[in-house]
Amino acid sequence: MANTFSYVPDRGFSKTTKPRVLLYQFGDGYAQRTGDGINSMPSVYNLTFNGRDVTTAEAIIAFLEATQGRTYFLWTPVGEANKIKVIASEWSMVHDSSISRNISVTFTQVFDL
């Protein structure tokens, strides 16, 4: 069973969806487009966790490092009802002060079995 990421990001995160489309260009100028596979609309989420205490920040980073950017986990986007499978494809942490940290992370939706 996959792990679940339960930390709540800051408000104002972004969600980008870029459909995967196969394009067939014909010699007479016409083109045909079709979705690339059955799951052709993955989303990418850019999240921030600003002003987190050191313990919470270290727990978030430890969770992300354990996945190594290749193991999916479950996450429920804020405002949505269903969990989705994502990987953490990139993250960074800024030492804001001696007692707080700022984390930025990118979640990429995957459709693994």
Give phi and psi for 23, each to the nearest 5. Answer: -115, 125
Phi, psi (rounded to 5 degrees) for 8: -95, 125
How many CB atoms lie under 10 A from the CB of residue 51? 14
Q: How confident is the model at residue 112 (pLDDT cuts 50, 70, 90)?
A: confident
Which of 19, 49, 47 minimizes the C-alpha distance to 34?
19
Q: Which residues make Cβ contacts (< 8 Å) with residue 79, sequence separation at least 6? A: none
pTM above 0.85, yes or no: yes
Mean pLDDT of all residues in 68-78? 94
Lowest mean pLDDT among 25-39, 47-61, 92-106: 25-39
Q: What gap in Å lies between CA 73 and CA 83, rounded to an integer? A: 10
Q: What is the mean pLDDT of residues 56-72?
A: 96
Confidence of residue 31 (pLDDT cuts 50, 70, 90): very high
For 1-113, list the strands marked E by DSSP: 14-17, 21-25, 31-35, 43-53, 73-75, 84-95, 100-109
